[in-house]
Amino acid sequence: MKSADQIGLVQGDITQQETEAIANAANSKLAGGGGVDGAIHRAGGPQIMAELKANYPQGCPTGQAVITSGGRLKARYVLHAVGPVYSGRPKDAQLLASAYRSCLSLCSQHGIRTVAFPSISTGVYRYPVEEAASLALHTVTDYLTTHPEIALVRFVLFDTNTYAAYHHVLARLQTL
Ligand code: ADP
């Protein structure tokens, strides 16, 4: 099986996912914010923020990720990834790829076999969605090629445009 076949796409709300882990698009202070971060903290309850404050008081550098429980979510874990604020410089792509890889590496370390991702950095952080979709899907595909312990990566895209951008890239990857 090609690794792109282990990637799924749905349009929807990531807080409702039943994958073992969901990823969050966090900020480097892990301080809570709007967008998907706000939705995850609202749905998961105060336990998630309490764990972040206790375990990562220094925050998380851009391009990396930390793990907490899922609080009241159906998912057992939340992976708090910090993507870059888009600047138009080459390092944006490195940092965004690294944020996805850090989440996947946490999955491997914690025995997490199914994980859902939002479109990191394409909201308030303004990363162009076509570029971000290509980078996210290629980075995940590459990782899965060498990490058979992960069975499913599902992207949960909130709006029609974002879903269409990811669908366009994934359709090509799956026919390669
Ligand atoms: P960033 O600061 O990394 O850009 P945002 O939360 O602003 O993060 O946006 C990232 C993406 O998450 C956007 O496409 C936004 O529409 C989407 N999003 C917002 N709420 C949800 C949700 N509940 N489930 C999935 N995606 C969401």
* Digit-coded pLDDT (tens) for 115-152: 999 999 999 999 999 999 999 999 999 999 999 999 99
Rounded to the nearest angstrom, the distance between the alpha carbon of 36 and the centre of ligand 1 is 4
pLDDT band of 5, cuts 50, 70, 90? confident
Number of domains in the chain: 1
Determine if residue 19 is left, alpha or beta; phi over 0 gives left, psi from -120 to 50 gives alpha, anything else beta: beta
Catalytic residue among 37, 92, 142, 159: 37
CATH code assigned at 121: 3.40.220.10
Instruction: Give yes or no: 92 in active site.
Output: no
Rounded to the nearest angstrom, the distance between the alpha carbon of 1 and the centre of ligand 1 is 30
Ligand 1 closest atom vs CA 158: 26
* Digit-coded pLDDT (tens) for 24-82: 999 999 998 899 999 999 999 999 999 999 999 999 999 999 999 999 999 999 999 99
d(CA 123, CA 46): 24
Which letter, b or e, does each residue of 92-102 get, where b requires 16 or more Cβ atoms within 10 Å of its Cβ? bbebbbbbbbb
* Digit-coded pLDDT (tens) for 93-105: 999 999 999 999 9
Secondary element (H or E) of residue 151 = none
